[in-house]
Amino acid sequence: MINKVFSAKQLDEKDPLFNKAEAFSLPNDTIYLDGNSLGPLPINAEKRASEVVKEQWGEGLITSWNKHQWISLPQQVGDKIGTLVGAKQGQVICCDSISINLFKVLSAALKMHPERKVIATTRNNFPTDIYMVQGLLDLLGDEYSIRYIDENHVGAQLTDDIAVLMLTQVNFRSGLKLDMKDITEQAHNKGILTLWDLAHSAGAFPVQLDECNVDFAVGCTYKYLNGGPGAPAFIYVARRHQAAYKQPLSGWMGHSSPFSFSPDYVPDTSVKQNLCGTPGIIGMSILDAALDVFDGVSLKAIDEKSKKLQAFFIAEAKRANLLEELKVVSPPLDNRGSQIAFAHEDAYAICQAWIAQGVIADFRAPNILRVGFAPLYLSFADVEKAVSSLATIIKEKHYDQDIFKQRQSVT
Amino acid sequence: MINKVFSAKQLDEKDPLFNKAEAFSLPNDTIYLDGNSLGPLPINAEKRASEVVKEQWGEGLITSWNKHQWISLPQQVGDKIGTLVGAKQGQVICCDSISINLFKVLSAALKMHPERKVIATTRNNFPTDIYMVQGLLDLLGDEYSIRYIDENHVGAQLTDDIAVLMLTQVNFRSGLKLDMKDITEQAHNKGILTLWDLAHSAGAFPVQLDECNVDFAVGCTYKYLNGGPGAPAFIYVARRHQAAYKQPLSGWMGHSSPFSFSPDYVPDTSVKQNLCGTPGIIGMSILDAALDVFDGVSLKAIDEKSKKLQAFFIAEAKRANLLEELKVVSPPLDNRGSQIAFAHEDAYAICQAWIAQGVIADFRAPNILRVGFAPLYLSFADVEKAVSSLATIIKEKHYDQDIFKQRQSVT
């Protein structure tokens, strides 16, 4: 048994973010290690949900589009997100889903690079990213193709026939974190436009879109940004590209003058062109309020605490002799996002047993137990309890080994 | 002065839908004639908003995807909408916005008709419908074109080079209602696929998608379906087309097996293929509850009451000698949807003055005062009061004639 250097209690006492958990409405007796799938409910967001439904919609009716500025909400929320991903004002807008936003950016980027016909991405990217490329290319015809590159040594695989390089900064399964600055620079050296998916980045650690000279980015808001289930996504178009940018989902809200009802589409010349249909105001209002939990908190502090939580989890797991059975398949701490992936042949069953004990983590096929660390509401004491519970489950085989086979036959 | 045949009181007493207004949370002292822009808040929806936020998201966290069946919500809500638009189960799904859904259907329909390169629509269609065609064609290249036809005598303008005929059943400005059955049949005689936009139809009167043999339809849910600001839209794909249908916004939720995370997109063979990214659960849950106000109500009864309300409005306006100044520009009662458009050079200023008196209607450029009739919560007494208020405003010029010029200079 390895002795602890610091106890959970000591670590919590030194934690400058410790009190932030009060900003969330978390269920009792639950340790939540799945904020990287769906962040919990911020108390602010709960209040705003009631306000937007009862007061703004119920009382204000149609007049709330102006009175409560629903009409400018996508930009307002976009700029708030911008401050969390290193983007100066006017480059981020909140709209639609990541999938749809990828389609917009990819289409626009191909138009900006008419002589190039290749979109490059990693084969182990999150499936929807790949699917959206496949759907677009199927529509555009045989002239275009997708090229799969390996997530290691991306730079060495870049060639000057690639129009767009689409990468997810943090791999959803392993947590591998790519070097945004270096890869973007190498892509630019080959004349390639970059599109970064920030699904597992935004709100988890400092992202520097402007500083890294990124061209385009998309991201979701229901993970580390705690915007709620299926909350609207966002899109970043670097200011230098906005004039040339033209995306094909040209709905009326992206028109330069939507309420003139002119018969021809004239794209807005700002990031607002990414709006398409009428935005879902209730979901976006809730997200707007949810983002306020980041007020006065630096992403650097969040990142530092995440690294400490992760290290503490690993240390505790090691102390409990768990790491022989539960194999860490994530890269080292400095090369991964705010999550750890463990491989175990019974990962699904273990995950279910852990959930039954009040510790919510996630399973990713075929054999990954995925543990997410969201420093705004997770304490070191939580981690200690979670590992202790996991140790009991694994050591004493307190789980149903057949459960995964059952599940497989259902899906 | 023309005498009334029936008083508002008498008409309200005979109205079988009179008590339905209790299902809505309507502000006091407001008469709402703009339910065709944004329906009011159903009390059920308010309850559900609180439930989905506090209990399902707040307490259930990620487990609610299964526990509260978020995952099947798009189909569940789609089928509910289906019953309101004459579609048998499994043909309607709730997702995204009308604009995005138009893009899906138009792309898929062109693929199903590879030898035809024309999309036909009316020039005075709602702008976003036209814009979405323009965006798609811009992406596809010069081979394809849009052809504008006149909304009168549509059949006579149909030729066998047209792949898809995209029409909005009720014109957003004039209220003109097209003959869905007749036009669809004439289109089919020329081998043309039909795509109907039900924005101003769904929830307003009986729509018979199956019976009219419609191929595809889209619609929004924030007007007569009272789903809330920017509530998610829907899409109808006739069962006979589902096997051949392939839409390009191929996000993971439309995959035949989304959670297998397979690297290649395999479209679901049902209407579910129209799902793209993760759906906005809060907005869709609210819509789900909002639709319950239609329980036990027939669309026929709604349509009948709408016609009576409209006739009563016109009769009252005539009694007040308003119809010389306020010119009806909508087609006759049987050829229009649940709205009346009046032309007046000061329409914007009159609309603003009316709103100040507690009567909310809508202005549509350049000179249209648009009055919507939503029979679930509008009474004949409301109509009487609304016309009386309008008469005072117009007869005594109780409005600011310069207000529109000011507005023009702002936009």
Alpha-carbon distance B3 to nearest alpha carbon in chain A (angstroms): 35
B 74-113 near A (Cβ less than 8 A)? 96-100, 103, 107
Question: pLDDT value at position A185?
Answer: 98
> What pLDDT, on a 0 to 100 scale, did the predictor assign at position B83?
98
Return the CATH number of the domain spanning residue range A48-294.
3.40.640.10
Contact B228 A260 (CB under 8 A): no
CA distance B201 to A220: 33
Indicate yes or no: CB of A135 within 8 angstroms of CB of B265.
yes
B197 among known catalytic residues: yes
Quick count: other Cβ atoms within 10 Å of Cβ A58?
A: 21
Encode pLDDT of A161-199 as tens digits.
999 999 999 999 999 999 999 999 999 999 999 999 999
Structure tokens at A387: 């590992």
Q: Give me the helix-helix angle, B98-112 and B127-140, nearest 10°.
A: 50
Given an 8 Å threshold on Cβ–Cβ distance, is B261 in contact with A233?
Answer: no
pLDDT tens digits, A18-59: 999 999 999 999 999 999 999 999 999 999 999 999 999 999
Residues of B in contact with A132 (CB under 8 A): 249-251
Q: What is the pLDDT of residues A239-258, one digit of tens each?
A: 999 999 999 999 999 999 99
Cα A396 from Cα B109, distance rounded (Å): 57
Find, in chain A, the residue whose alpha carbon is nearest to that of B134.
Answer: A265
Closest-CA distance, A15 to chain B, in angstroms, reads 25
Using a CB-CB cut-off of 8 Å, the residues of chain A touching B366 are none
Tokens linked to A154: 């991306």
Distance (Å) of CA B349 to CA B178, B232, B342, B409 = 31, 32, 13, 15
Measured between CA atoms, the residue of chain A closest to residue B104 is A249
Query: What homologous superfamily does CATH list for A8-17+297-410?
Result: Aspartate Aminotransferase, domain 1 (3.90.1150.10)
The residues near B90 (Cβ < 8 Å, ≥ 6 apart) are B75, B79, B239, B270, B271
**A residues 216..245 contacting B (CB < 8 A):** 220, 222, 228-233
Residue B352, chain A, CB below 8 Å: the answer is no
Q: In this model, does residue A408 exceed pLDDT 90?
A: no
Nearest CB to A252; choose among B40, B127, B257: B127
- Give me the residue label for tokens 């209602």: B177
What length does chain A have?
Answer: 411
Give the C-alpha separation, B84 to B354, whole Å. 32
What is the rounded distance in angstroms from the CA atom of residue A213 to the CA atom of residue A121? Answer: 19
Q: Distance from A104 to chain B by nearest Cα, in Å?
A: 10
Q: DSSP for A132-193, please give it.
A: HHHHHHHHH-TT-EEEEE-STTTGGG--TTEEEEEEESB-TTT-BB--HHHHHHHHHHTT-E
Mean pLDDT, 10 residues at a time, chain B of 411 residues: 79 97 96 97 98 98 96 98 98 98 98 97 97 98 97 97 98 97 98 98 98 98 98 98 98 95 95 98 98 98 98 97 96 97 96 97 93 98 98 94 62 33
pLDDT at residue B243 in the model: 97
Chain B contact for A30, CB < 8 A?
yes
Interface test with A, best of B252, B357, B363 (most A CBs within 10 A): B252
B:55-74 residues touching chain A, CB 8 A cutoff: 56-59, 61-65, 70
Task: Classify B321 in phi/psi space as left (phi over 0), alpha (psi -120 to 50) or beta.
Answer: left
Average pLDDT rounded to a whole number, residues A313-338: 96
Could you tell me the residue ranges of all domains in chain A? Answer: 8-17+297-410, 48-294
Quickly state the pLDDT bin for A365 (edges 50, 70, 90): confident
**Does residue B174 contact residue B340 with C-beta atoms inside 8 Å?**
no
A340 closest CA partner among A349, A319, A68, A318: A318
Provide the mean pLDDT of chain A.
Answer: 96
Residue of B nearest to A136 (CA): B248
Q: What distance lies between CA B91 and its chain's CA centroid?
A: 18
According to the model, what pLDDT value does residue A265 have?
97
Tally of CA atoms within 13 A in the half-sphere of B22 that contains its CB: 3
The question of whether B407 is a catalytic residue gets the answer no
In a 13 Å sphere around the CA of A71, the CA atoms on its Cβ side amount to 11
Catalytic residues of A: 126, 197, 222-223, 370
Q: Which of residues 370-399 of B touch A (CB under 8 A)?
A: none
Quote the distance between the C-alpha of residue B354 and its chain's center: 24
> Do A288 and A77 meet the contact criterion of CB atoms below 8 Å apart?
yes
Tell me the C-alpha distance between B330 and B310, whole Å: 11
Of B396, B407, B361, nearest to B32 by C-alpha is: B361
Measured between beta carbons, the chain B residues lying within 8 angstroms of A221 are none
CB within 8 Å: A365 and B260: yes
Query: Which residues from A are below 8 Å from B174, CB to CB?
Result: none
Q: What is the ipTM of this complex?
A: 0.97
A209 dihedral zone (left: phi>0; alpha: psi -120 to 50; beta): alpha
CA distance B142 to chain A (A): 13
Q: Average pLDDT for residues A144-156, to the nearest whole number?
A: 97
d(CA A292, CA A210): 22
- Cα separation, B11 vs A143, whole angstroms: 66
Q: Is A89 left (phi over 0), alpha (psi -120 to 50) or beta?
A: beta
Q: Is the dihedral of CA B399, B405, B407, B408 positive or negative?
A: positive
Identify the residue whose tokens are 């602010």: A44
pLDDT score, position B409:
43
Q: What is the reported pLDDT for A6?
A: 86
User: How far is the alpha carbon of A23 from chain B, nearest alpha carbon, in Å?
Assistant: 12
Query: Each residue of A288-302: pLDDT tens digit?
Result: 999 999 999 999 999
Distances (CA, A) of A275 to A66, A223, A251, A252: 18, 22, 7, 8
Q: Do residues B389 and B354 lie in contact, with contact meaning Cβ atoms separated by under 8 Å?
A: yes
CB contact under 8 A, A230 and B278: yes
Count of CB atoms within 10 A of residue A53's CB? 27
Q: How far is CA B78 from CA B10, B22, B200, B211, B268, in A?
A: 38, 25, 17, 18, 16
A295-327 residues labelled b (16+ CB within 10 A) or e (exposed): eebebebbbbbbbbbbebbbbbbebbebeeebe
